[in-house]
Structures are given as structure tokens and as C-alpha cells.
A and B are shown apart, each in its own frame.
Chain A
Amino acid sequence: MSLLELKDVRKSFGAIEALRGATFSVDAGAVVGLVGDNGAGKSTLMKTITGVYRPDGGEIRFDGASLAGKDPGDIRKAGIEMIYQDLALARMRDVASNIFLGRELTRSVLGLRLIDAKRMRSEAEAMIAKLGARVKSVTQLAGQLSGGQQQSVAIARALTFNPKLVIMDEPTAALAVREVEHVLELIRTLSAQGIAVILISHRLTDVFAVCDRIVVLRQGAVIADDPTKGTSMNAVVAHIVGATDLPHQAAAR
């Protein structure tokens, strides 16, 4: 049984059908590349998995249980973390509170559950150190960090609570070459630890470098789902742009 299973997931926004029956699965520890043109439904699909959107139809199962009706907090608790393309950081809060955002550590004072800022700081420091991220202090505000540093914070947040699946939306789009290599290495490390990764990226070289399987989304449906070894850059590009929509024409050429 797969870790994550999507069956015929549908989602519309008004008259626009963003997802018209997406079906695929992700095994534990697998690295799956999710590619597709702009507007193919990648982000919608991921936000449907993380509970930000409610699917109109179909089923999403994670670790054997249905995710129907769960909100983003429940889904994070179940073990799915997502690193959003815009990083989803609170710019006016410090690194430590961003890492623990939604899961603040608390201590009980006179029956009140107060946020334990001290413990959050020390644990955030440990996490940043473990990742080898170059963030000077966990008391810096997220808005004052460079793009790469903000990325490190978003990654640290996703990894702090022992996820089973990490979804990364364009994690390398805004990074320098050296930092890209760092992220790819991290994906390999996660996979080795048995943590599954879904990598959404426009950079096919990155996708081919780390993914075991490549899923192509086109107009809200999965049109290709192949092991990386069994496909090629050309075939994936052809699927993305729709050049394989009419197979008889392709065959005629």
C-alpha cells in the first residue's frame, strides 16, 4: 500500500475545472517529481492534499486513512508538510516563531497555556544548526532575511516535526546554483531516511537528478506517470506541452 494515494481528485473554481480527476500515488521514501505547465493544476493539487482547498470529488488517503474533511492543521499532524513557493512566512515574527508556527511549544502557568519562547528558540537553533543553514540568529525577523535564508527557515519548519511526506513547491526557483545543490542533497537525505518527497519544479534537470518517478499533470489530469529511468527529458517535455495528445499524428510522422 502506498503512503499517499489520490483517486480521481476533482476541484473546480466556479466554471474553471482546475483538477479533472487526478490519480497517482507516492510510496514511503519515494521522490516523485510533479511537473506540468503553468495552470496545469500542480499547486491546486498540492493545496488540496494539504487541506487548504477541499476537493469536490475523489479520494485522498494518507497512511491508510482518508484525509476527507481534515483541515491543514490536522493534515500536518498526520505527517504531511509542504514548503510553499512563497514560503508562507510571517515577516514580522522571528525565525523561531516561524519554525513553530501553528505548533507553538507551550508551558502551563496557573492553568494557562503560555507560549514557551525560550524552548522554541533553543529548539529552533538546534534545527537550524542540524540543517547547516546560515541563519545568524533565531531572533531575527523573517522579513529581514535573504531569500535563501527564508527558504532555510521554511525547510526547517517542514522538517522539525518528523514528517512522513514533504511537498516542495518550486524550492529551487529563487536560489543560487550552490544553494540548489544543497536542496537537492537534502531531498536525497530525506528519501534515505524514509521520508517521501513530492518535488514540484519547472527545472527538469533538478527533477531528473533526484526523482524516482515523474508525474506529468496537464489540464488538471495526470497524463503520464513513469519511472525516471523509463522516460526521457524529451518525452516529459512532450507530455507537458501536449504534443502527445494526438498519438496517431505523432505516429504518422
Chain B
Amino acid sequence: MSASASPAASPQGWRSRLAVKAAFRFESLLVLAALVAVMAALSPVFLSVSNFLNIVLSTSVIGVLAIGMTFVISSAGIDLSVGSLIGLSAVVGALATANFDLPWPTCILACLAAGAFAGWVNGFLITKGGIPPFIATLGMLGVARGVALVLSDGVSIYGLPPEVVYLGQGRPFGVPTPVFVLLGVAVVAHVLLVHTRFGVYAQVIGDNEAAARAMGVRVERHKTLLYALCGLLAGLAGLLFAARINSGEPTAGLSYELTAITATVIGGTNMNGGHGTVVGTVIGALIMGVLQNGLNLLAVRPFYQQIAIGAVLVLVVWFDRINSREGWRR
């Protein structure tokens, strides 16, 4: 069986093995390091502690969002609605406390529930309705944003309970609270994705859905759960966003789906499903954070950030196509 030894020895085999088996994509760390070096060289304040905290703070919302996306993309799905779900959950959470004067835990629960419910609807439409994920979640992108605007009458709802604001603005041990939230979510999500049936089945569904079904995985139920989880994390991201600015903005999270998908794919999650990595996604989110922060420090107009992020997404997927033999076969 000398034939079985040769693919592992050939450089392409080695590379595809790395891409699939590694916990994350090594290149993403290099990109992060290079980006940090460039920004540090260009801006004197970039390497300061306060700026570092700024970066991790802005990374936390994207990170939480991208971790949910990692589960969905691993299963060969996509969720375009997460940006709108930030707006929806922020508004719903703010309404619960500002308008109805409910106790502060209600605000948190309302954010999470709004996101999870919208995500569940995505999953329902995809599995029961047979609507492609791209279309179902694109529809939700419009509907959720619209509902957020209707509920809020198009204006920001100010005044969240102080306990909730602490989630966004607090600094225990000098570190912004959202960073702790991101770390907690990342640890739980990593264990879930790598070490439990829930996460492994998400990847198997993305790898070979028919095989998953034949081997007894309840594919439809599982997919619905994955979209609900993605929605739940979008709701959490919405909560962090609202808490940070102390208001429920109906336009919060506009085009964040682009950033979340880019962070996920940079991290090494396979765009075609079958393999995902939470560690990689967090690195991807950091790259997004550094990119945005650096461009801000360099006084580049925010409009250019969109161009940069969009270009990075397309380049990374292109890079993958060229590198993987799978890409050539498809």
C-alpha cells in the first residue's frame, strides 16, 4: 500500500491535511502579526494598552457573531441575517426595559430570545420549507431590520438598566466586560464544536449530509438548532452592542454579516462546510478588529473599511480555491 503513503508526503497532501486537521489556519496568525506590525509602524498609539483594549472591545461583538456563524458555515449553511438580528435584539431589549419598565434581567432575556427566535425561524424555513439558507436568511435580513425599525419607530431607544450597561461599559480588572463575554462564549463554543456530538454533527452535515442522515443524525432538527444558536449569539451580540452605547438602535449591526462571515472564513472554517474552528474564528475577528481600528487611527474614512473587508473576504476564498485540491475538483 505504497499509494496510501504518497498523498501525505506530497506537498499538496501536506497542505490539505494542515488546512483540515489543524485547530485553525496558521496563515491567519501570520496575517494578524503582519497587520499588527504594519499598524504599529504607521501609528504611534496603536501599540498602547488603551488601544489594545479598544481593539478587543470592538472585536467582542464581531467575535460573538462570528462564532455563531462558524457553526452554521460548518454545516454548509450561511446566515446573512445576523447583522439585522443585532438591530432587532437591541431594540427589543431596550423596549422591554425603557418602555415597559421591566426588571433588568428581562432586557437580557429579551435580547437573547429575539435573536434565538429569529434564528429558529430561519432554521424552520430552511428545513421545513426547503428554502435555501441564502434566501431564507436574506429574507430575514430584511424582515428583522424592518421589524426593528417599526418597533422603535426608527429612532434610538435610550436608557438601559445600569446592570445591562455594565455588560457593555464595565471594566472589571480594567478589561472591558464584553471581552470576558467573548472569551466565555469562545471556550464553550470550542468545546461544543470539537468535543460534543452537537458540534461534530454540524460539521458532518456540512461534509456529507446524506451520510449524516443515513447514520442516524436528525439532520433537520440539528440544522434548526444550529440556526437558532446562531440567532441566539446574534442576540447576545445585540445585547453587547446596545449595552455599550446605552441604547437600542434599530440600525445597529448594519452589514455586520459581512464582517462576521469574513472573520469566520479567515479563521479557516471551510466555506463549503465540513470543518469549522472557533479558535480560528476568534483570530479572524481580531484581524477584523485590528483592521478597523488601524484604519480609524490612520484617519481613513470608514467607507474604505467596507472596501477592505469585502476585498479580504473574496481574496481569502480565492486563496483557498487555489490551494485546495478540493477546490479544483469542484
Q: Which of A's residues lie within 8 Å of B, judged by CB?
A: 50, 52, 71-77, 82, 84, 86, 88-93, 97, 101-104, 106, 112-115, 134, 136, 140-141, 144-146, 149
Question: B196 touching A101 by the CB < 8 A rule?
Answer: no
Question: B191 touching A92 by the CB < 8 A rule?
Answer: no
Interface flag for B218 (CB, 8 Å): yes
The residues of B that contact A134 with a CB separation of less than 8 Å are 1, 4
Question: B270 touching A92 by the CB < 8 A rule?
Answer: yes
Question: B216 touching A141 by the CB < 8 A rule?
Answer: no
Q: Which of A73, A92, A115, A145 has the most CB of B within 10 A?
A: A92
Question: A90 touching B212 by the CB < 8 A rule?
Answer: yes
A115 vs B214: C-alpha distance when bound (angstroms): 20
Q: Which of A52, A88, A93, A115 contacts B195 (CB 8 A)?
A: A115
Question: B270 touching A82 by the CB < 8 A rule?
Answer: no
Q: Which of A72, A93, A113, A115 contacts B213 (CB 8 A)?
A: A72
Interface flag for B8 (CB, 8 Å): yes
Question: A90 touching B218 by the CB < 8 A rule?
Answer: no
Question: B197 touching A106 by the CB < 8 A rule?
Answer: yes
The residues of B that contact A140 with a CB separation of less than 8 Å are 4
Surface stretch bound by A, among B105-113, B199-207, B292-300, B302-310: B199-207
Interface flag for B215 (CB, 8 Å): yes
The residues of B that contact A84 with a CB separation of less than 8 Å are 211, 214
The residues of B that contact A112 with a CB separation of less than 8 Å are 191, 196
If A93-B203, A145-B4, A146-B3 touch, whether A113 touches B196 (CB-CB below 8 Å) is yes
Interface flag for B210 (CB, 8 Å): yes
If A112-B196, A144-B7 touch, whether A92 touches B214 (CB-CB below 8 Å) is no
Question: A136 touching B214 by the CB < 8 A rule?
Answer: no
The residues of B that contact A89 with a CB separation of less than 8 Å are 208, 211
Question: B216 touching A91 by the CB < 8 A rule?
Answer: no
Question: A102 touching B217 by the CB < 8 A rule?
Answer: yes
A88 vs B204: C-alpha distance when bound (angstroms): 11
Question: A149 touching B218 by the CB < 8 A rule?
Answer: no
Question: B196 touching A114 by the CB < 8 A rule?
Answer: yes
If A91-B207, A114-B195, A136-B1 touch, whether A141 touches B20 (CB-CB below 8 Å) is yes
Interface flag for B132 (CB, 8 Å): no
Within 8 A of A (CB), among B175-215: 191, 195-197, 200, 203-204, 207-208, 210-215
A146 vs B8: C-alpha distance when bound (angstroms): 13
The residues of A that contact B191 with a CB separation of less than 8 Å are 112, 114
Interface residues on B, range: 20 to 34
Interface flag for B275 (CB, 8 Å): yes
Interface flag for B17 (CB, 8 Å): yes
Q: Which of A101, A106, A149 contacts B215 (CB 8 A)?
A: A101
The residues of B that contact A71 with a CB separation of less than 8 Å are 216, 218
A77 vs B3: C-alpha distance when bound (angstroms): 36
The residues of A that contact B13 with a CB separation of less than 8 Å are 144
Interface flag for B21 (CB, 8 Å): yes
Chain A proximity mask over B267-306: 1 for CB below 8 Å, otherwise 0? 0001000110000000000000000000000000000000
The residues of A that contact B274 with a CB separation of less than 8 Å are 90-92
Q: Which of B17, B203, B210, B218 contacts A73 (CB 8 A)?
A: B218
Chain B's closest residue to A139 (CB) is B21
Question: B20 touching A92 by the CB < 8 A rule?
Answer: yes
A140 vs B213: C-alpha distance when bound (angstroms): 23
**Shortest CB distance B59–A (Å):** 27
A75 vs B186: C-alpha distance when bound (angstroms): 36
**Shortest CB distance A179–B (Å):** 12
Question: 22 A-B contacts, Cβ less than 8 Å apart?
Answer: A50-B214, A73-B218, A84-B214, A88-B208, A88-B210, A88-B211, A88-B215, A90-B203, A90-B207, A92-B203, A92-B275, A101-B204, A101-B211, A102-B217, A103-B215, A104-B197, A112-B191, A112-B196, A114-B195, A136-B1, A144-B13, A146-B3
Chain A's closest residue to B188 (CB) is A112
Chain B's closest residue to A141 (CB) is B20
Question: A90 touching B204 by the CB < 8 A rule?
Answer: yes
A106 vs B197: C-alpha distance when bound (angstroms): 9
A73 vs B274: C-alpha distance when bound (angstroms): 21
**Shortest CB distance B219–A (Å):** 10
Question: B207 touching A141 by the CB < 8 A rule?
Answer: no
Q: Which of B3, B215, B275 contacts A72 (CB 8 A)?
A: B215
Question: A88 touching B8 by the CB < 8 A rule?
Answer: no
**Shortest CB distance B214–A (Å):** 5
